[in-house]
Amino acid sequence: MNANTITVPLTDNGVLKVSGTDAKKFLQGQLTCNMDEITTKESRLAAHCNREGRIISLFYLAYFQEAYYCVMPFSMIALTLAAFKKYAVFYNVSLTDVSEHFSVVGYVSEKAPAINNGFIIKIPSKNRYLYISDTISHHPTNHLSINSWRLLDIANGIPTIYPEISAVFLPHEINLIQLNAISFDKGCYTGQEIIARMHYRGKLKKQLYHAHIICHAIIPIPGFHVYQQKDRAILLAGMIVNACPQEKDNYYTLIVLNDIDADNCELLLKNDQTICFFHDITLVSSTA
């Protein structure tokens, strides 16, 4: 093990198993990625969308021991299962929450961790991996917190979908194309027509941004609305995708904003007691 390896026990992650003779066919008709590219050595970030092309769930997808495994926040497992089951009745496929049988550990390392019993997922950012094991493994004690791992996700423009923002965003609005989570030549899947139309013919009206926000009385969470202060009016400008505390009362966020001039406007959160202003607002253009 590299001495510089840092691990993060991701105890807030769950694992959903998709198995059966029709598992690949079923997922090919539901997910944004191309299932032909998912092998024992190749994983993907994948989205499951509704018919309107909006993301129900977003997860890492891997193939291991003749089954597919979806790794996502534990809070998304039940919602994802419910959405899958609407279509699974037409296939010979089994959907199982196996979260209790797998541990998920994040790695920050120059090389992928050695596999003892499980599988590796490469995160679409530099030197980061997920190690999913069906045994409790002994990992180095050089740990980061889950919050630090989420800050790395935000810094690299990698969004996470939680129940509060399920079925809200189109894949383009949270940069899933840049994250190699969308295939435009795989054929039909749920939501494909709208997603393809937006890609080839549409004009993107919402984009993903990094931003910091100082909040003393509000804890920003996914789904909170972002407002624009314009003259004396306060107008709806977008929504928080993800937010993590960086230091006392200072949060690092991913936000989706409407087609506005983010460089020349004042953005804020507000409630009945206080107003919190965003600063250092920058467009997320690529991953590290």
pLDDT per residue as tens digits for the range 208-223: 999 999 988 788 999 9
Q: Do residues 129 and 214 both lie within one domain?
A: no
Q: Which of 50-59, 220-229, 252-261 has the highest mean pLDDT?
A: 50-59
In 3D, which of 19, 16, 68, 72 has the Cα closest to residue 39?
A: 68
Q: What is the pLDDT of residues 87-134, one digit of tens each?
A: 999 999 999 999 999 999 999 999 888 887 899 999 999 899 999 998
Are 126 and 219 in a shared domain?
A: no
Considering the domain boundaries, does residue 174 fall inside one?
no
Give Cα 248 distance to the centre of its chain: 25
**pLDDT value, residue 138:** 52
The sign of the dihedral angle between the CA atoms of 32, 158, 245, 99 is: positive
| Per-residue pLDDT band at 288 (split at 50, 70, 90) | very low
Q: Are residues 151 and 223 in the same domain?
A: no
Q: 3-class DSSP state for residue 119?
A: strand
User: Residues 37-61: what's their mean pLDDT?
Assistant: 97
pLDDT value at position 199?
84
Alpha carbon of residue 30 to chain centroid: 17
Q: Is the pLDDT of residue 6 over 60?
A: yes
- 225 within some domain: yes
pLDDT for the residue numbered 231:
77
Which neighbouring-strand residues pair with 208?
256
Q: Report the C-alpha gap between 164 and 210 in whole angstroms.
A: 19
CA–CA dist 138, 203 (Å, integer): 49
Q: What is the side-by-side strand order in the sheet with 118-122?
A: 6-9, 103-108, 128-133, 118-122
Question: Does pLDDT of 22 surpass 60?
Answer: yes
Q: For the chain, what percentages of helix, strand and coil (3-state, to nearest 5) are there?
A: 20, 40, 45
Q: Is 70 helix (H, G, I), strand (E, B) or coil?
A: strand
This prediction's pTM: 0.93
Residue 1: pLDDT band by 50, 70, 90 thresholds?
Answer: very low
Q: How confident is the model at residue 204 (pLDDT cuts 50, 70, 90)?
A: confident
Please check the confidence at residue 145 and state whether its pLDDT lies above 90: yes
- 79 in a domain, yes or no? yes
**Encoded amino acid at 8, one letter:** V
Query: Residue range 35-58: average pLDDT?
Result: 97
Q: What number is the average pLDDT over the span 45-64? A: 98
Looking at residue 174, what is its pLDDT? 97
Strand ranges (E), 98-232: 103-108, 118-122, 128-133, 207-214, 225-230
On whether the CB atoms of residues 39 and 47 are closer than 8 A, the answer is: no
Where are the alpha helices (H) located in the chain, listed in sequence order? 23-28, 77-88, 146-155, 192-200
Tokens matching residue 50: 């509704």
Instruction: Verify that 39 and 142 share a domain, yes or no.
Output: yes
98, 226: one domain? no
Distance separating the N- and C-terminal Cα atoms of the chain: 24
Supply 124's token pair: 């679409």
Residue 77 has pLDDT above 60, yes or no: yes
Q: What is the CA radius of gyration of the chain?
A: 19
272 or 14, which is more confident: 14
**pLDDT score, position 46:** 98
For residues 251 and 193, the answer to whether their CB atoms sit within 8 Å is no
Structurally, how many domains does the chain consist of? 2
pLDDT at 137: 55
Structural domain ending residue among the three candidates 165, 198, 220 = 165
Q: 32 with 102, same domain?
A: yes
Mark whether 107 and 16 lie in a shared domain. Answer: yes
Which of the residue ranges 86-100, 182-196, 207-221, 259-273 would you say has the lowest mean pLDDT?
Answer: 259-273
Q: Which single residue is written with the structure tokens 């013919």?
A: 201
Question: Lowest-pLDDT range, 171-175, 187-191, 200-204?
Answer: 200-204
CATH number of residue 104's parent domain? 3.30.1360.120
Share of residues in the chain with pLDDT > 70 (%): 93
Q: Are 2 and 109 in contact (CB under 8 A)?
A: yes
102 located within any domain: yes
Q: Are residues 157 and 214 part of one domain?
A: no
* Domain of residue 130, residue span: 6-165
Q: What is the CATH number of the domain that holds 231?
A: 2.40.30.160
Q: Is 90 among the domain residues? A: yes
The reply to whether 141 and 18 lie within a common domain is: yes
